[in-house]
Amino acid sequence: MAPTRAEPFSDSSALIDFVINQGNGVKGLSEMGLKALPRQYIQPLEERMCMINIKAQESIPIIDMSNPDDPDVEKLICEAASKWGFFQIINHDVPIEVLENVKDATYKFFGLSAEVKNKYSKEHSSSNNVRFGTSFTPQAEKALEWKDYLSLFYVSEEEAFALWPLACREQVLDYMRKSEVVIKQLLKMLMKGLNVNEIDETKESLLMGSMRTNLNYYPKCPNPELTVGVGRHSDVSTLTILLQDEIGGLFVRENNCDNWIHVPPIKGSLVINVGDALQIMSNGKYKSVEHRVVANGYNNRISVPIFVNPRPSDMIGPLPELIKDGEKPIYKQVLYSDYVKHFFRKGHDGKKTIEFAEM
pLDDT band at 216 (very low <50, low <70, confident <90, very high): very high
Q: How many CA atoms lie within 13 A of 151 on its CB side?
A: 18
With respect to residue 156, please indicate whether it lies within any of the assigned structural domains: yes
Q: Is the pTM of this model over 0.85?
A: yes
> Count of CB atoms within 10 A of residue 298's CB?
9
Residue 122 has a pLDDT of 85
Instruction: Give 335-343's long-range contacts (Cβ < 8 A, gap of 24+).
Output: 336/277, 336/309, 336/310, 336/311, 336/312, 337/312, 337/313, 339/236, 339/276, 339/277, 340/236, 340/309, 340/312, 343/236
Q: What is the pLDDT of residues 241-270, one digit of tens each?
A: 999 999 999 999 987 778 889 999 999 999
Residue 313: phi and psi, rounded to 5, are -85, 0
Q: Is 5 within the bounds of a domain? A: no
> What letter does residue 246 receive in the DSSP assignment?
S
Cβ-Cβ contacts under 8 Å for 158 (sequence gap 6 or more): none
Query: Per residue in 134-187, pLDDT tens?
Result: 864 555 556 788 999 999 999 999 999 999 999 999 999 999 999 999 999 999
Mean confidence (pLDDT) of the chain: 90
For residue 352, the number of C-alpha atoms closer than 13 Å in the C-beta half-sphere is 11
> Does any domain span residue 51?
no
Beta-bridge partner residues of 62 = 88
The span from the CA of 334 to the CA of 62, in Å, is 33
Does residue 218 lie within any of the structural domains?
yes
Q: pLDDT tens for residues 278-293?
A: 999 999 999 999 999 9
pLDDT the model gives residue 7: 53
Closest CA to 55 of 84, 90, 88: 84
Per-residue confidence band for 14, with pLDDT thresholds at 50, 70 and 90: confident
Residue 92 maps to a domain: yes
Q: Residue 354: its pLDDT value, please?
A: 85
What is the chain's length?
A: 359
Identify the CATH number of the domain in which residue 343 sits: 2.60.120.330
In a domain, 153, yes or no: yes
Question: For the ranges 38-52, 68-82, 211-225, which has the lowest average pLDDT?
Answer: 38-52
Please, which residues have CB within 8 angstroms of residue 125's CB and are 6 or more apart in sequence? Answer: 119, 131, 132
Cβ-proximal residues to 284 (8 Å cutoff; 6+ apart), any chain: 330, 331
Q: Quick check: helix, strand or coil at residue 258? A: coil
Compute how many other C-beta atoms are within 10 angstroms of the C-beta atom of residue 82: 17
Comparing C-alpha atoms, which of 249, 235, 263 is closest to residue 350? Answer: 235
Total domain count, the chain: 1
Q: What percent of the chain has pLDDT over 90?
A: 68
Whole-number pLDDT of residue 2: 47
d(CA 24, CA 22): 6
Contacts of 1 (CB under 8 A, 6+ apart): none
pLDDT at 38: 87
Nearest 10 degrees: Cα torsion 204, 207, 213, 216: -150
DSSP per-residue string spanning 142-185: SS--S-EEEEEEES-HHHHHHHS-TTTHHHHHHHHHHHHHHHHH
Residue 43 lies in a domain: no
Name the band, by pLDDT with cuts 50, 70 and 90, for residue 6: very low
Question: Hey, which residues does 331 pair with through a beta bridge?
Answer: 358
Position 344 pLDDT exceeds 80:
no
pLDDT at 335: 96
Helix H segments across the chain?
12-16, 25-31, 71-83, 96-110, 114-117, 157-163, 169-192, 201-208, 276-281, 320-323, 336-344
pLDDT tens profile 227-238:
988 888 889 999
The answer, yes or no, to whether residue 347 has pLDDT greater than 60, is no
> What pLDDT is recorded for position 50?
64
pLDDT score recorded for residue 123:
86
Range of the domain at 184: 58-357
Q: CA 359 to CA 341: how far, in whole Å?
A: 19
Amino acid residing at 128: N
Query: In this structure, is residue 133 part of a structural domain?
Result: yes
The string of DSSP letters for 185-207 reads: HHHHHHHHTTT-----HHHHHHH
The answer to whether residue 211 scores a pLDDT higher than 50 is yes
